[in-house]
Amino acid sequence: MEERSSASELVSSLRSELNRYSPGGKLPSSRALVQRFGVSPVTVSRAVAQLAAEGLVVTRPGAGAFRAEPRSAVPAPGDTSWQEVSLSGDGGPEVVPRTVDASGVLVTLAAPPSGVIECNGGYLHPSLQPERAMAAALARAGRRPGAWGRPPTDGLDELRAWFAREIGGTVTASDVLITAGGQSALATALRALSPPGAPVLVESPTYPGMLAAARAAGLRPVPVPVDADGVRPDLLEAAFRATGSRVFVCQPLFQNPTGAVLAPERRGQIVRIARDAGAFVVEDDFARRLVHADAGPLPVPLVAHDQDGVVVHVCSLTKVTSPSLRVGALAARGPVLERLRAIQVVDSFFVPRPLQEAALELVGSPAWGRHLRAVAAELAGRRTATTAAVRHHLPELALPLVPSGGGTLWLRLPGPGAGEPALVSAALRAGVAVAPGRPYHCAEPPAGHIRLSFAAVSGPAELAEAVRRLRTACDELFGPPPGPDGSLRA
Q: What is the pLDDT of residue 91?
A: 52
| Separation between Cα atoms, residue 173 and residue 437, nearest integer Å | 38
Q: What is the mean pLDDT of residues 273-299?
A: 94
DSSP H helical segments within 2-80, as ranges?
2-17, 30-37, 41-53
With a CB cutoff of 8 Å and minimum separation 6, the contacts of 121 are 108, 453, 455, 456
Q: What is the pLDDT of residue 77?
A: 62
| Separation between Cα atoms, residue 477 and residue 474, nearest integer Å | 5
Q: What is the pLDDT of residues 244-263, one digit of tens each?
A: 999 999 999 999 999 999 99
Superfamily of structural domain 103-127+368-478: Aspartate Aminotransferase, domain 1 (3.90.1150.10)
For the chain, the domains span 2-67, 103-127+368-478, 131-365
CATH of domain 131-365: 3.40.640.10
| Separation between Cα atoms, residue 355 and residue 170, nearest integer Å | 27
Supply angle C-alpha 323, 324, 327, rounded to 5: 95
Of 2, 57, 70, nearest in space to 28 by CA = 57
- Same fold: 103-127+368-478 with 131-365: no
CATH level 2 (architecture), domain 2-67: Orthogonal Bundle (1.10)
DSSP H helical segments within 89-224, as ranges?
103-109, 131-142, 157-167, 181-193, 208-216
| Separation between Cα atoms, residue 104 and residue 424, nearest integer Å | 14
Long-range own/partner contacts, residues 36-41 (CB < 8 A, 24 or more apart): 37/10, 37/13, 39/6, 39/7, 39/10, 40/3, 40/6
Dump the DSSP string for 358-413: HHHHHHTSHHHHHHHHHHHHHHHHHHHHHHHHHHHH-TTSB-----SBSSEEEEEP
Q: For residue 219, what is the DSSP state?
A: -
pLDDT band at 417 (very low <50, low <70, confident <90, very high): low
Q: What is the mean pLDDT of residues 15-25?
A: 87
Q: For residue 309, what is the DSSP state?
A: S
Q: What is the pLDDT of residues 202-233, one digit of tens each?
A: 999 999 999 999 999 999 999 999 999 999 99
Region of residue 400 (phi > 0: left; psi between -120 and 50: alpha; otherwise: beta) = alpha
Mean pLDDT (the chain) is 88
Q: Report the C-alpha dihedral over residues 340, 346, 348, 349, rounded to 10 degrees.
A: 90
Q: How many Cβ atoms are within 10 Å of 358's Cβ, its own excluded?
A: 24
pLDDT band at 22 (very low <50, low <70, confident <90, very high): confident
Is residue 482's pLDDT more than 80? Answer: no
